[in-house]
Amino acid sequence: MVPLIDPFARAISYLRVSVTDRCDFRCTYCMSEHMTFLPKADLLSLEELDRLCTAFVRMGVQKLRITGGEPLVRKGILTFFEAMSRHLQSGALKELTLTTNGSQLAKFAEPLAALGVKRVNVSLDTLDPAKFTQITRWGRLPQVLDGIQAAKAAGLRVKINAVALKGFNEDELFSLLDWCAREDQDLTFIEVMPMGEDMGEGLRLDQYWPLKDLRARLSERFTLTDLAERSGGPARYVRVEETSQKLGFITPLTHNFCESCNRVRLTCTGELYMCLGQEDMADLRAPLRASPDDAVVEAAIRAAIARKPKGHDFDYTRQRVKGQMTRHMSHTGG
């Protein structure tokens, strides 16, 4: 099968799949407190998700990241992981992984590890229990910390993703770093992105803490060495020499990473977003449901990839949000 190559000669080898728009948390930068979720009938069934992801794997996708919403609250999610693990066994898929808020990891870590998951990204912005509940609204820190321990006990490698929020976790920069060093976890900071409409939480711009400022603060105490490692996405890595830690920075707004972009995003309703920062998407649910013949959906995937844009439009530099997206992060899964 001819691999997926976009018009800018980028091979598409990485698919992020949002399996649900629902979540057991309501992080202020991600969702409003009273979210309206999609009608269940609009969601792809687990079998449909399997068919679609399998088509992508056939067409050259080697890395699959399961996300959401909270992927582990989707009913029957292990059935889906089990289905995907057959592509690991065949060697077609090199990595099956997930991004989670950690709340359900105590229950799922072991079965996930048994199905071939080796690494998990856990989102955690603060180590203060009160602040944790403030930012997630419904989350409880001890439950997430238990989940992280369960993941490690099951042999999973844990990476912590922390959204850098001005006036919220600025003062925890060093304590988060220390904790990750002690726990032997990688850590990545993410710049807050202008996703979703105004949710009454104030503009995202107010929470914007540029990672170059965060980096400058780290440099006052530590020696940071840039690493050449690239993921094909917006992450850049440094080594903290004094602690030998690898630290990631995801700066989708201030850095141009689009030239090496290797990924597309599938929503739980079968919309394929070719770029996180653009509105254009292709509906794959209709061709999927139109015919049991996978050639139809494969043609739809190829047509979509042929429309993958060169880059995104996010720009905070003029003190206003240009290219602001109206969809929530929980829709495309980040």
Contact segment (CB under 6 A) with ligand SF4 among 10-18, 19-27, 76-84, 187-195 equals 19-27
Residue 25 engages ligand SF4 in binding (rule: CB under 6 A): yes
In the range 145-204, which residues lie near ligand SF4 by CB under 6 A?
A: none
Residue 68 engages ligand SF4 in binding (rule: CB under 6 A): yes
- For ligand SAM, the closer of residues 70 and 172 by Cβ is 70
Residue with tokens 């399998």: 54
Phi/psi class of residue 169: alpha, beta or left (left: φ > 0; alpha: ψ in -120 to 50)?
alpha
Phi/psi class of residue 137: alpha, beta or left (left: φ > 0; alpha: ψ in -120 to 50)?
left
* Residue-wise DSSP of 261-298: --EEEE-TTSEEES-TT---EEE-HHHHHH-S-HHHHH
Closest CA to 157 of 112, 224, 107, 90: 112
Binding mask 88-127 for ligand SF4 (x = CB under 6 A): -------------x---------------------x----
Candidates 49, 193, 211, 276; binder of ligand SAM (CB under 6 A) is: 193
Q: Which does 31 bind (CB under 5 to 8 A by kind): ligand SF4, ligand SAM, none?
A: ligand SF4
Candidates 4, 15, 23, 190; binder of ligand SF4 (CB under 6 A) is: 23
The answer to whether the beta carbons of residues 245 and 160 sit under 8 Å apart is: no
Sign of the alpha-carbon dihedral angle for 77, 78, 82, 85: positive
Residue 270 engages ligand SF4 in binding (rule: CB under 6 A): no
Query: What is the distance between the alpha carbons of residues 27 and 157, in angstroms, rounded to a whole number?
Result: 24
Q: Compute the least distance from the CB of residue 144 to ligand SF4, in Å.
A: 10
Q: For binding to ligand SAM (CB under 6 A), which residues are involved?
A: 23, 29-30, 67-68, 70, 99-101, 123, 161, 163, 190, 192-193, 195, 329-330, 333-334
